[in-house]
Amino acid sequence: MSDFITKRAEDINQWYNDLVIKGELADYSSVRGCMVIKPYGYALWENMRDALDKMIKDTGHVNAYFPLFVPKSLFEAEEKNAEGFAKECAVVTHYRLKNDPDNKGKLIVDPEAKLEEELVVRPTSEAVIWNTYKTWIQSYRDLPLLINQWANVVRWEMRTKLFLRTAEFLWQEGHTAHATQAEAIEETKKMLGVYADFAENWLAIPVYQGVKSESERFAGAVDTYTIEGLMQDGKALQCGTSHFLGQNFAKAFDVKYQTTEGKDEYVWATSWGVSTRLIGALLMTHSDDKGIVMPPKVAPHQVVFVPFLHEKKPEQNQILIDKCNEFVTQFKAKGIRCKIDTDLMKRPGFKFAEHEMKGIPVRIVFGPRDLEENVAEVARRDNLSKESISQDKLVNHVENLLTEIQANIYNRAKEYRNTNTRECTDYEDFKSKIAEGGFVITHWDGTAETEEKIKEETKATIRCIPYDYEQTAGKCIYSGKETKHRVLFARAH
């Protein structure tokens, strides 16, 4: 904890790991591919979750909870979905252990306790949920059905990375059922919009919204909509997806409703999710060589007070701590999350470095000198600047500063993203731009073959067909065919 963060220029992957481990967001665990989310990291997740949960509820959805286990027969009902996830499923085959007769104190799986039917640990919940919806939906009056759940899922990934790709992760998954195709598509886009809003206005991560190409589509979806961010290592990161599922799941699970005319119709479906990966996105978007930079809106602590305490001067310490508490009360009244660092053993310089590493947006320092002059030293994490602020202006100043920091890191990230999004019409130029990192916007002939070839030759994938760029006609960068698709390519995490 006391040593430094690896510099980005030195080793950007190690830098990222250092942010997570030394920033005390998470730890490696004794379970392969799984991490422990530590209190500081979990507090961040709670803030993110609470904000997004409200947005989900404000758009008419309610929360529920479905089981962790999916009987294999249900899991395989929607073929494409099952096929897509089959390779990365954890499966429960037994329900009991027993003492090992040959090895005292050890346990073995009881071969007598084999399950009649295996249970798949959910990699996503469409199967259980649609099997339930079948019984909940009878009439057009039951629609739309707008449900979200906060849950954990397991995907047995070959290679994992803290927050960005872990075998178990936390997320929310919305699953909705609608009477018409148009309404379901509208829902899909609406929720993508909610995600984009959340990413940009809460996490300060600028994202491109768009539609996935067929090969990148969610298994079982008709269309996958995505928000894509650009990380500081030049790689794109899928930050959230919203799927229009058509009638695939309705047909697989036989979910029909009766129309006003008394006809039976299959319902139309959507599903959408974001995960703890967003923590990784946030870290990789804003942080610097001194550590994490937290967006104020979701930071576990928005302000940290550092009174200059001397072990030998208890009376002076008390005055400084009282002063801090006075302000903490005022900040709390404004809904600002703060803490006081009253550790007697650590020196100020150490504390400064530690709070910077953990990304606390604003640091307020009170020393005897400041008290005499009736000021406080206010330091901001985003640009590391410091200024002396008169105490009577402190609360308003900091309140505004938090807003300013939130805006500043968003603008900074957006500028980086924009300057690293480049147009391209020549394949050789494309290859060199992709190698340099960032998004490349270019024409693509719409075929999976071309997409595959480009991936093989450059490691770049189509991140999306973006909303933000007009779909003008042009020549495919690879095949030279006339096409109307303009797509965003990038190397991705």
Partner RNA sequence: AGGGAUGUAGCGCAGUCCGGUAGCGCACCUGGUUUGGGACCAGGGGGUCGCAGGUUCGAAUCCUGUCAUCCCUACCA
Question: Closest approach of Cβ 460 to RNA, in Å?
Answer: 12
State the minimum distance, in angstroms, from the CB of residue 490 to RNA.
13
Q: How far is the CB of 450 from RNA (least distance, A)?
A: 15
Q: Judged by CB, which is closer to RNA: 136, or 350?
A: 350
- CB of 139 vs RNA, minimal distance in Å: 33
Q: Which is nearer to RNA, 19 or 137 (CB)?
A: 19
With respect to RNA, which residue has the nearer C-beta, 16 or 66? 16
- Supply the minimum distance, in Å, between the C-beta of residue 241 and RNA: 5
- The residue (of 217 and 297) whose beta carbon lies closer to RNA is 217
**How far apart are CB 182 and RNA at their closest, in Å?**
25
* Pairwise CA distance, residues 239 & 137, whole Å: 31
Minimum separation from the CB atom of position 63 to RNA (A): 20
Name the packing angle between helices 277-286 and 394-419 (round to 10°). Answer: 90
Output 255 or 284, the one with its CB closest to RNA: 284
Closer to RNA by CB, 437 or 474: give it: 437
Residue number, 357 or 454, with CB nearest to RNA: 357
Which residues would be at the binding site for RNA (CB under 7 A)? 1-5, 32-33, 84, 87-88, 155, 157-160, 164-167, 169, 171, 216, 218, 238-241, 273-277, 290, 308-312, 347-350, 352-354, 356-357, 365, 367-370, 377, 379, 384, 386
